[in-house]
Chains A and B, each alone.
Chain A
Amino acid sequence: MSVRLNDFLFSILLIAVLIVIPLLGVGVLGLKYFFGVIIPYLALAVFIGGLIYRIVDWARSPQPFKITTTSGQQKSLPWIKRSRLESPANNLEVALRMFFEVFFFRSLFRNLRADLEGKRLLYGSAKWLWLGALLFHLGFLIIILRHLRFFVFPVPEFVNILEKIDGFFQIGFPTLYLSDLLILLGLAFLLLRRLFDAKINYISYASDYFPLLLIISIVVTGILMRVAIKPDIFAIKHYAISLATFRPVIPEAPISVLFYVHLFLVSSLAVYFPFSKLVHMVGIFFSPTRNLPNDNRMKRHVNPWDYPVKYTTYSEWQEKFRDVMEEAGIPIDEEWGKEIQKQA
């Protein structure tokens, strides 16, 4: 099997550039304010502006038809057990379906693997993708929530609790968080399958490797800071709160350049996010096969750009077949043409 590496290597190169920029910028040129204040603010602005742009852009296009994908029994006769999650009949059930989709990747959980053995197709359960994706996304969420301790004062209680749970296993010293390990595990799995699963390798672009590598780099720099470099946490917290309160102050105390690398990578991710496939985070909420109820015959869906089309009317049709109809004894309707005219 040949692994296609071009796109992967190009992404590594991009990541290397993104690491070198703050190394030079802060480490050599000392542009702390630029990398510590201007870039993060810019990135945040692009992130929020970009997401708003995408949301408005999707919202501007109407959904002309109610095209729910029904993965379960419809609501029909009262004695037939229906599937509220897979064939939601109202908005509450749609909300439930979306909830399981967004937080538990329900559709991905269905994943199967097909193999051809001789002349027989075999289908096996294949939950690894689901597990890898969940580890990664859940890990990411927990890490983001944990980071609230830097930006909010006093630290919310749930963040403290989360941290306690996350550090429960006390792996190493200082404690390595469970979420850090899990996210790396998830990311590694997602990356390896892009490299070594022939089908996935075939469909992977640099724009698929890049975000994975970018997030891996962010996690690794984060972990390095915690376990190896141990920068001045107090100074960083002071600085982070100053950012959050829009009164940015660059700390006097020396902070490791690794911190600036971490920050620059996060900023890069924020900028990249709205303009890449990563917008699926917001996009999923707009997905018409998932966010609409299967109630087409109960409730009419209106298409804002619907227009009338010309079709063969009954009268036109009858004129064409009058003779054969008469001969076959099929009733001729002379009234309908008049009725239609009267209506018009």
Chain B
Amino acid sequence: MSKLPKPEDLIKDVQLHRTPATHWMDTKPEFKPGKFLYAVEPQVMEDLGRPHLGKWQPYEEKWPLPEDWKERILKAIRDRMERFRSFKLFMDICVRCGACADKCHYFLGTGDPKNMPVLRGELIRSIIKGEFSFFGKIFGRLAGARPLTEEVLKEWYYYFYQCTECRRCSVFCPYGIDHAEVTMIMREILHELGIAVDWAMKPVRFSHFVGNHIGLQPHTIKENIEYLLSDIAEITGLNIEVPINQKGAEILFVTPSADFFAEPGIYTFMGYVLLFHHIGLDYTISTYASEGGNFGFFNTLELAKKLHAKIYEEAKRLKVKWIIGGECGHMWRVWHQYHNTWFGPFDYLEVPKSPITGTVFEHAKDHKVVHICEFTADLIAHGKLKLDPSRNDHLIVTFHDSCNTSRGMGIFEEPRFIIKNVCNNFVEMPENTIREKTFCCGSGSGLNADEYMEMRMRGGFPRANAVEYVHKNYGVNTVACICAIDRAVLPTLMKYWVPGVEVAGVHELVGNALVMEGEKKRTTDLRYRPLKGVEEEV
């Protein structure tokens, strides 16, 4: 792994208003350590029955491409244009107005013009013109056309994994061109040859064969949960149980698996558990459908579908009535915008109705899946939770909207409503960096590999910069979020750019504030940090 430059040096070379002297078609990417992702290990692809290039790395001069690589790629492009109107249309109607140019966090953190979404799109648009269009072939560069070469594949690998599929560009585009969609399809096309990223594929293998990203086996999940429950017992004095694979429960609860084992997601999990216990919810978690997140989505849609099919077989098997999904970003993009198409109709489930408040979740009446923040916001609105927000007084909280739940779902108010009810100190980041204009953590869509650290710190720079602003001006020390990848990568990003800021799931804050029946006087939060006021007493 390469040495990461110091924060003050990292963006010294970033120029947002200057471009290279060479034409973009003559500017080749350099695969420097810290700036590219390792290629997938062949065994991973082998296990999943997918094509691969054997053992290779992207920095190699000559990639071990099969003889018919070009035909296969061209065929794949045509195929995607026939199957995805989105792709065909986005290739056809971009006018290169440049409104998206400085909206991409990767552009803002690198100054590399090929990270302007418009130019990232040109990487493939130019090939479609150059290979399929008569006039494109005649006019070449003047029409923005070029032929498909091995160099182009390298460029695709480099730049389509420098997009986190955050969709910020699509908010600003006058035609709604969504470069996340382009990236998704380009990654699929690279997959046709077996060109993929190791970090993004290993979790797919684990999820497929074991059930979750890191490959937690059922007994390990149980052990982890028991471990968290003993922490809860210590902090609150309550002995709580978490139902596992329980048939006939009313609700199946599925959350990203990181919440079972990784800091700070485990605190979020403790929050869920406390909440469910507080209201006496009849629910179960599953060790089979133990992953709400979906790394398949960062590779191909087929893989994504493969991984999440488990959730619905499990819902059928356990005969639950409906499903609650935990806090996660891309998970909710997949659940909200893809599941109903893939796995519906869900006539074996019932229209979700909160057993506590009686609220019928009309907006989920067909899919029968509810976001935990929708569920909790409804509880709070009906006064069903006993809350002591002062238990979060040691925190000054800001909220980071994750890309996918913002621009691929539109859940903005629910988490804010919850935070304002469980915390006394809430500060918004500057308006151009939140809600639909929110900035990515810089490591989404399968890019959170260690070998990619420099790029991740660059991509996360705009987000970190906004946090720094509220940290300096309002003393913010906690970024709340509703995304497991955020919880996994924002701590690293904060440590690098804004030391002194921690990252917490919204339900961790809920867990802190919940006044449980029969609990002892709490002296610490769920992380064993002393509560405000208690510190002084001791």
Contact = CB atoms under 8 A, between A and B. Distances in A.
Interface of A: 1-2, 4, 6-7, 10, 54, 57-77, 79-81, 83, 86-87, 89, 101, 105, 107-108, 110-116, 119-121, 123, 129, 133, 193, 197-208, 275, 277-280, 283-284, 286-290, 294-303, 305-306, 309-314, 317-318, 320-321, 324-325, 327-331, 333, 336
Contact of A123 (B21, B167, B430): B430
B369 A58 contact: no
Contacts of B381: 77, 79
Contact of A74 (B219, B246, B340, B410): B410
A76 B98 contact: no
B175 to A, nearest CB: 5
A101 B174 contact: yes
B18 A121 contact: no
19 contacts: A61-B84, A61-B85, A69-B176, A72-B436, A114-B108, A116-B11, A119-B11, A202-B119, A203-B118, A206-B143, A280-B175, A295-B363, A296-B367, A297-B366, A312-B209, A324-B218, A325-B219, A330-B222, A330-B287
B407 interface: yes
Query: 6 tightest CB-CB pairs across the interface, nearest first?
Result: A74-B410, A70-B410, A328-B219, A283-B93, A289-B176, A297-B367
B337 interface: yes
Contacts of A279: 92-93
A73 B314 contact: no
Interface in B306-333: 306-307, 309-310, 313-314, 317
A293 to B, nearest CB: 11
B410 A87 contact: yes
A61 B341 CA distance: 17
Contacts of A290: 175-176
Given A297-B336, A311-B305, 16 more contacts: A1-B18, A63-B86, A70-B407, A74-B411, A80-B413, A208-B96, A277-B92, A283-B89, A284-B175, A286-B85, A296-B367, A298-B365, A299-B366, A317-B211, A329-B222, A333-B317
Contact of B84 (A64, A112, A314): A64
B85 A62 contact: yes
B378 interface: yes
B528 interface: no
Interface of B: 7-8, 11, 14, 16-21, 23-24, 81-86, 88-89, 92-99, 101-103, 108, 113, 116, 118-119, 122, 135, 139, 141-144, 167, 170-178, 181, 208-209, 211, 217-219, 222-223, 244-247, 287-288, 302, 305-307, 309-310, 313-314, 317, 336-338, 340-342, 344-345, 359, 361-367, 369, 374, 377-378, 381, 406-414, 417, 430, 432-433, 436-437, 461-462, 465-466
B222 A61 contact: no
Contacts of A112: 102-103, 172, 432, 437
A280 to B, nearest CB: 4
B83 A62 contact: yes
B17 A73 contact: no
A213 B374 CA distance: 52
A47 B525 CA distance: 68
A74 B89 contact: no
A112 B431 CA distance: 12
B410 A107 contact: no
Chief secondary structure at chain A's binding surface: loop
Contacts of A295: 363
Contacts of B341: 64-66, 300-303, 306
Nearest to A89: B363
B99 A129 contact: yes
**Which of B313, B407, B433 is most buried by chain A, counting CB atoms within 10 A of its CB?**
B313
B499 to A, nearest CB: 14
B116 A280 contact: no
A327 B219 contact: yes
Given A69-B167, A200-B98, A107 B413 contact: no
Contacts of A278: 95
Contacts of B141: 205
A61 B83 contact: yes
Nearest to B100: A111
Given A67-B86, A112-B103, A113-B102, A311 B363 contact: no
Contact of A203 (B122, B245, B345, B436): B122
B97 A133 contact: yes
Given A70-B410, A296-B340, A199 B19 contact: yes
B47 to A, nearest CB: 12
B89 A287 contact: yes
A296 B208 contact: no
B101 A199 contact: yes
Contact of B208 (A58, A101, A105, A312): A312
B116 A297 contact: no
Contacts of A287: 89, 93, 175-177
A300 B247 contact: no
B259 to A, nearest CB: 18
Contacts of A289: 86, 170, 176-178, 181
Given A70-B408, A198-B17, A7 B83 contact: no
Contacts of B314: 314
A87 to B, nearest CB: 4
A61 B24 CA distance: 31
B95 A277 contact: yes
Contacts of B85: 58-59, 61-63, 286, 288
Contacts of A321: 217-219
A198 B406 contact: no
A301 B19 CA distance: 43
**Which of B122, B175, B246, B344 is most buried by chain A, counting CB atoms within 10 A of its CB?**
B175
Contacts of B17: 115, 198-199
A169 B166 CA distance: 48
B116 A199 contact: yes
Given A65-B341, A76-B411, A58 B89 contact: yes
B481 to A, nearest CB: 18
A294 B310 contact: no
A76 B363 contact: yes
Contacts of A206: 139, 142-143
B112 to A, nearest CB: 11
A279 B462 CA distance: 34
A221 to B, nearest CB: 24
A297 B178 contact: no
B337 to A, nearest CB: 5
B16 A114 contact: yes
Contacts of A65: 337-338, 341
